[in-house]
Amino acid sequence: MKFSIYRYNPDVDKKPYMQDYELELQEGDQMLLDALIRIKQQDDTLSLRKSCREGVCGSDAMNINGKNGLACTTKLQDLEQPVVLRPMPGLPVIRDLVVDMTQFFEHYNSIKPYLINDDPLPETERLQSPEDRAKLDGLYECIMCGACTTACPSFWWNPDKFVGPSGLMAAYRFIVDSRDQAEAERLENLEDPYRLYRCHNIMNCVDVCPKKLNPNAAIAKIKDLKILRAKEKKTKKTISITSV
Amino acid sequence: MLIELLTKKYPGMRLWLAQRLSAVVMAFYLLVFALMLIIKQPGDYAGWVELMSPWWWRVFTLLFFVSLVMHAWLGVRDVFKDYIFNLKLRAVMQILIDVLLVIYLYWAGVILWSI
């Protein structure tokens, strides 16, 4: 099987280049990651991230034949040859297929990805009704591989300002959580023209998500919720003025 | 109510909302326009004049063009901000587009009120 892999070692190479590899597949080689591990055995200068090898950790996200995905969940038989592998676009390359995800995690951090609840801790856990718990389905499963965010042109052009589909879906996951008390603060945190509203519904995020999630729908729900809450705020203000 | 959401108090939402509202106006106009065509079936110049003559229809049509210009302005502005990194070039391009859109709007008004 033929591969063409992006190579770049900033300590040695003046610029990136594509290196061809030819690999004899062996029995049991089913996923792209299996092939990459064999290539790495042939050429140990090749750098890539991997960990769980079953689509849970999100470490081996890369650009596979032009589309972001996980090497460990991509079947070799589905790939056209030569298989062109590049690092995820839009982030600085550390080496070969390894990118610097600092910016990605800074955005994730900026949406405060934890429950904010000022009530005293109950004796056991904070309970949710099954209906409230169901609202988190399709949101909490994100493995933060970065495939969606780095496939998004809005992130490419404004990586320092636009939170990106992954971060925004995480934001909605906490906004919609019945145990969280910081909805207003979270919505306010996404008000500037870039953080949320730079999403133009291109939907690359939906196309590439290896977990088949829909960040675009979560982003649309945040926008709807922002209008709803702003209108409610206005109504409340009008009622209080009238009652005075 | 909606007007307040279009103020500087909501710097992100107002641009997004303005684009959506203008799209709603255009979609509504096109729907009514299609219905008018089906009902009136203007087959010749006289038929078109009759269709476009009522003052309220001309105002509604102008509102459609205002929405179109606003929608286009917001869209092109975003594209320029994303793809043109040279600030001077971006400013020149934006001014050109702004002038063009104003001319188009004026032109639409002239056509509508010359019927």
Which positions in chain A have a beta carbon within 8 angstroms of at least one beta carbon in chain B? 153-154, 157-158, 190-197, 200, 223, 226-227, 230-231, 234
Record: contact A192-B12, CB cut-off 8 A:
yes
What is the band of A243 on the pLDDT scale with cuts at 50, 70, 90? low
Record: contact B4-A234, CB cut-off 8 A:
yes
Q: Strands of chain B (E only): list them.
A: none
Q: How far is B13 from chain A (nearest CA, A)?
A: 7
Closest B-chain CA to A234: B1
Spatial separation of the C-alpha atoms in residues B97 and B75, rounded to whole Å: 11
**Section B55-76 average pLDDT:** 95
Spatial separation of the C-alpha atoms in residues A155 and A89, rounded to whole Å: 10
Q: Can you give the residue ranges of every domain in chain B?
A: 2-112
Record: contact B15-A196, CB cut-off 8 A:
no
Q: Can you give the residue ranges of every domain in chain A?
A: 2-99, 102-243
- The CATH T-level fold of domain A2-99 is Ubiquitin-like (UB roll) (3.10.20)
The crossing angle, in degrees rounded to 10, of helices A165-175 and A102-110 is: 20
Residue from B14, B16, B21, B74 to probe the interface with A (highest A Cβ count within 10 Å): B16
Q: How far is B74 from chain A (nearest CA, A)?
A: 12
Per residue in A6-37, pLDDT tens? Answer: 999 999 999 999 999 999 998 889 999 999 99
Do the beta carbons of residue A96 and residue A8 sit within 8 Å? yes
Determine the CATH number of domain A102-243: 1.10.1060.10
Per residue in B76-95, pLDDT tens? Answer: 999 999 889 899 999 999 99
Find residues 67-96 of chain B whose CB sits inside 8 Å of chain A: 78, 81-83
> What pLDDT is stored for residue A238 in this prediction?
64
- The CATH T-level fold of domain B2-112 is 3 helical TM bundles of succinate and fumarate reductases (1.20.1300)
Q: Is the pLDDT of residue B4 over 80?
A: no
Record: contact A200-B78, CB cut-off 8 A:
yes
Q: Is the pLDDT of residue A100 over 90?
A: yes
**Section A46-70 average pLDDT:** 96
> What pLDDT is stored for residue B108 in this prediction?
94
Angle at B81 between CA B62 and CA A226, to 5 degrees: 70
What percentage of chain A carries pLDDT values higher than 90? 88
> What pLDDT is stored for residue B60 in this prediction?
94
Of B4, B11, B83, the CB nearest to A192: B11
- Residue A166 C-alpha from the chain's centroid: 4
